[in-house]
Amino acid sequence: MTSYTLGQKHIAPTKPERGVFPLDHEGECKEKMLKYMLCLTRNDSKPSKCQTESKEYFQCRMDRNLMKKHEWEDLGYFDGREKQTSDSN
């Protein structure tokens, strides 16, 4: 079988931007994600109130290679706490 490429542009794949990671098609971290989303719902969508749940979710994703492993500081966590943001009021 012959493939014709006349007039077609070859597009080279590029790596995803930081913050873009594979979907969890197998649902490996679904429970952690749901706990985090429920926490956000209960806390007026303020991530600073759900730091434990978000860390558990990120850890699950890193452990299963669904995202690149990062230091907690790179993800906005400092001294065991989430970096203070405007939503922490």
What is the full per-residue pLDDT of the chain (89 aa) written as tens digits? 555 556 677 777 776 566 566 788 899 999 999 999 999 999 999 999 999 999 999 999 999 999 889 899 988 887 654 455 544 44
Per domain, the residue ranges of the chain are 29-75
Rounded to the nearest 5 degrees, what angle is found at the Cα of 53, between the Cα atoms of 49 and 54? Answer: 85
pLDDT computed for residue 77 by the predictor: 87
What phi and psi, each to the nearest 5 degrees, are found at residue 78? Answer: -135, 135
| CA atoms 66, 70, 71, 72: torsion sign | negative
pTM for the predicted model, two decimal places:
0.66
What phi and psi, each to the nearest 5 degrees, are found at residue 82? Answer: -70, 145
pLDDT computed for residue 89 by the predictor: 45
In eight-state DSSP terms, residue 48 is G
